[in-house]
Amino acid sequence: MGCGELVAGFLRRVNDGVILTVHVHPGARRSGIVVEEDGVHAYVREPPRGGRANEGLIRLFKKMGLKASIIGGSKSRVKEILLEGAEPAMAARILCQHS
């Protein structure tokens, strides 16, 4: 199974974009996205205090050219991210390019 097919399983189409379920790993040595069979993992350098890891996550998506906002799980490591204006195929392609 290719990266695009894996990512597609974690994306849901909504009116204003797509929702991505992502597992966040704060305090990582470097920031990045990894797509695996068990999910999309986002590694951020920021610690999980005071919302800093959430801010780092949003910055990570911005660097990939995606407008993101956290719509669920703001205090959890498993988050639902709205990728505004994105189409599923485009979001999958971008995530796979950065994985």
pLDDT tens profile 68-88 = 999 999 999 999 999 999 999
Question: What's the total number of domains in the chain?
Answer: 1
Q: What is the pLDDT of residue 2?
A: 82
Q: Is 4 exposed, middle or buried (0-12, 13-18, 19+ CB in 10 A)?
A: middle
Contact 4, 93 (CB under 8 A): yes
Query: Each residue of 17-56: pLDDT tens digit?
Result: 999 999 999 999 999 999 999 999 999 999 999 999 999 9
Task: Give bridge partners of residue 83 from the DSSP assignment.
Answer: 18, 68
- Residue 39 belongs to a domain with what CATH number? 3.30.1200.10
Q: What is the pLDDT of residue 91?
A: 92
Q: What backbone torsions phi and psi does residue 31 show, to the nearest 5 degrees?
A: -85, 145
Say how many C-beta atoms besides its own lie within 10 A of residue 63's C-beta.
11
Whether the per-residue pLDDT at 1 is higher than 80: the answer is no
Per-residue pLDDT averaged across 59-64, rounded? 95
The pairing of beta strand 39-43 with beta strand 32-36 = antiparallel
Q: What is the pLDDT of residue 18?
A: 96
Rounded CA-CA distance 23/46 in Å is: 15
Domain that holds residue 15: 3-97
